[in-house]
Every structure is written in C-alpha cells, then in structure tokens.
Amino acid sequence: MLRRLIRPARRLPVWLLLSVTAPFVLEVLLHMWRWSVPRPAAELDAPFFTACQEPDVGARRENAVLVMLARNHELEKANKTITSIDSHFNRWFNYPVLFLNDEPWSPRFVDVLNKTARGLATFEVVPRNQWTFPEGVDVDAAKQNIKEQGERGIPHAGEEGYHHMCRFYSGKFYQLDALKKYKWYWRLEPDVDFTCAITYDPFVQMARHKKVYGFTIALWEVGKSCPNLFRSMADWKEMMDIPTRGLWKAMVSPSWVPYPFRRFMSWLPYRDARGDEWNLCHYWSNFEIADMDFFRTRAYQDLFEYLDKKGGFYFERWGDAAVHSLAVAMLADPRQVHHFEDFGYRHDQLFQCPANAPGGQLPNSKLLLGSATSSPEMENGIGCRCECDGRTTSNHPGSCLNLLKSPTTIKRPWYSRSS
C-alpha cells in the first residue's frame, strides 16, 4: 500500500519536488534564525568576586531580609538551614530573618530558631485570605482535581497546601504586610546546606550591578504539572505587546514544522499559539535573591492576576519556580539576571559546588576564623573556603543552565542556538 502511494512521487521531476519543498524549508530556517539567541560581544554576567573577600562588617546594608516559609514540624530542617547560612554568611552581615507559616508558630520553634538566628528573627503567620483558593474558583471541583493529580503521580500535586504555597509565592508573597518595608529578599528553605563562605554582601552587589533576580541551579520543570502554563503566559505576553527578549528566546524550542502547519502544534502541551514549545527550563526557586520591586510592578502583578483567574494553580500544578522564571524571561533584560556560581548550595539531592579559588582563601584573615576549607584549591576555581568537593561542580544536567545563561555569555556549547 505504502509503495503504491510513494511510486507516483518518484515519477515527479526533481525540479518540481524542489520547487514545492524549498519554500517550506526556507521558511523553517528563517523561523529558526528568528529564535536564535544573539551572542553578546562580552561576558555580561561574571561572578561578583572570584575569591574570598575580607567581610566589610561596617559597610552600608541594603534594605533586605532572609525569608523562610516553614512549618512547626520542620524545626530540625529549618534550624539546619539557619545554622548553615549564619556560619557561612550572616555572622558578618546580620540581616534580619523572617519566618512564615500558614499556621500559628509553636513556642519551641520560635525559641530554637530565634536562638540560632541570634535574635535577628521574627515570626509571622500568613493571613488566611492569602493562603486559600481565590474567588471565583469552584472549590469542590478544585479539590477533586487536586486529588486526581496526586493519583496520576504528579509530584506534590495531590497536596492542597502545596498548591496554596505555589500560588502564594507566585504573587501574594510580594504584597505581604510583613515584607512591605523591604526591597530585597533571599529565599531560604528548610534542609539547605551552604558549603562555601559568602564573604561579600550579595544584596549590595545585586543593587550595584542593577540585577533584579539571582539563582544557583536551573532545571527542567516536571512537564505534566503545568501543560497550559506557557500558553497562558505567552498569550498574556502577546496581548500586552511585550517584545521578545533574549532570555525568552532561550526558553523556547522553535518548531521545525513549517508555516502554516506549525499552528496545529499549538494544540499540544507547553506550546504557544504559534506552535513553538517551552523547553521546560526554569530557575530552581528554593534559592532566590531578588528585588521585590520587580515583582511588585504593575506588569508582574497584572500577569499574576491573569494567571490566577485561569485556575491553573489548582486545576494544574503551576509552580512558582516556573512562573517566576518565565516572568523574568519576559519582563527583565537578561543582564538583570545573575547566576551565583560562586555559592556552594545543596537542597534535597541537588547541589552546586564551585572549586576553591587558587591563592584566594585569605588564610590569615581573623574574620574568617572558623571558615575552614576541606577542599583543595583548583585552577579556575572561584569559591571561598568551600567544604564540598569542587572536582564535581554539580550533580544535575547542565543543559538548562547553559540555555538560560546563553543571552549573557560568549561561552556556549556547540548545540546552542546563537547568532
């Protein structure tokens, strides 16, 4: 049967076949070129420092806060994180620490964590109206859908509280009364290890270099958790006539299907209305150092309200990491995003571990006493007194990191799309 269908095509003249197919091939190549990420003339996001610094304990501080959302039963894991960040950073810089919970704090949690934070901590409860289903959502239907998501094996999707958390961090977080007096935040999670000394003030450097968002790890999102998130965000982007920036291009895998057939691809998950696909890359938001004024802008808040009305925080499992990442790609200049590649960081099973900078460990510094290193210095290392083994800089694929850094670096893998 197939041979009968192919046989007539073999009889067609070559020039006719070429004349028919050439316009489609040319259109696809042009389409791919339009989505290529421009290569910058120079590195646009170098590390702020590439060796230990003498901590400037008397310098001006930014209006910033360390923030952790935790629950009473996570006392040990929360205490581990605060112990780690205090010994590796905050013992020199003394930024306040804000703990958030959707339930009243236990006296023991407050007592233990306040001691670990050396009295710098405050404890707040998220208002109930910011940790619940939004108006207009069919609550019974949402709860049933959450149950079904859990049964399908989507990570955390069967937990109602996890959906509330994703919605809260995606929008309501930035309007929280307890945070309104601050401009910058450093997001922390229970069960985190910082494995290098952080001897400079990242908030000051972010402000000095006009950055709005900082991250450590970039990964793929769990695709089945948010099949319609990218379409919703791309629709809003087009509706608001927002220009396409390099970072948005880096998050899109353009379709190889020629126009006009490409639009049929829009029926598939993770696609925009033209049929191009989100590659699922995003910043892992359990670590964020960011300017809250960026997320408080009218543009971002309008985007969040648009997404909130779509219902995807409950009828799918739209994560705050994906929402933040796509919003930053859409609304920020790539040069405003910073990779803290000099930070040693571990959460769950994933880590980032820079090698120690050769000749840059300040062995005679009195302020750095207690920040002993157990890892050797290595050529091209940028870490400060890192305890982790810098011979393995990470334990996760680097594909997304390479893609999301492509708008700001001239060092790219051969497979990257560049122009």
Residues designated as active site: 288
DSSP 220-277: E--GGG-TTHHHHHHHHHHHTTPPPPHHHHHTEE---SPTTGGGGGGGSTTB-TTS-E
Distance between CA atoms of 370 and 280, rounded to whole angstroms? 41
What are the C-alpha distances in Å from 357 to residues 129, 342, 354, 381, 383?
48, 10, 9, 4, 5
Distance between CA atoms of 258 and 206, rounded to whole angstroms? 42
Token pair belonging to 161: 């509280």
CB 105 within 8 A of CB 123: yes
Cis amide linkage into residue 354, ω under 30° from 0: no
Question: Angle at CA 282, nearest 5°, toward 391 and 217?
Answer: 25
**Placement of tokens 């233990």 in the chain:** 112
**What b-and-e string marks burial along 389-409, b requiring 16 or more CB atoms within 10 Å of the CB?**
ebeebbebeebbbbbbbbbbb
Cα 402 from chain centre: 14
CB 56 within 8 A of CB 201: yes
CB 265 within 8 A of CB 275: yes
Distance between CA atoms of 52 and 363, rounded to whole angstroms? 10
Token pair belonging to 207: 């402000």
Distance between CA atoms of 416 and 419, rounded to whole angstroms? 10
